[in-house]
Amino acid sequence: MRPQVSRPFNNTQKVIMLARQRMSFDPETVSLLRKTLDDAWDLLGPEQRAMTSRTLLAERILKSAAKGERDPKRLRDAALTANAA
């Protein structure tokens, strides 16, 4: 039997799995990504919302963020442009 090792919970980073890759974002970036998702969703009309999901928009935003993008407008536009395609 192995002794239990105490591991304090570190809440300074959020780890997200995307396309089988681990990504870490600091709390400020997570906040920015959430706001960007909300903004992108709010720009969609009812018909567009019916044809997509917040999850899909979030994945697109995360993919751009994983490449280093942090500009909210470019993150939002990347998600919406992919949605229009």
Give the mean model confidence (pLDDT) for residues 30-58: 95
Percent of the chain whose pLDDT exceeds 90: 65
**What integer pLDDT is reported at residue 24 of this predicted model?**
87
Phi, psi of 68 (to 5 degrees): 105, -5
Per the DSSP assignment, residues forming a β-bridge with 14 are 25
Which residue in the block uniquely carries the two structure tokens 């229009």? 84
Give the mean model confidence (pLDDT) for residues 37-41: 97
**What integer pLDDT is reported at residue 15 of this predicted model?**
55
Residues 6+ apart with CB under 8 A from 76: 36, 39, 40, 43, 61
Q: Do residues 69 and 30 lie in contact, with contact meaning Cβ atoms separated by under 8 Å?
A: no
Model confidence at 85, pLDDT cuts 50, 70, 90, reads: low
Q: Do residues 18 and 59 lie in contact, with contact meaning Cβ atoms separated by under 8 Å?
A: yes
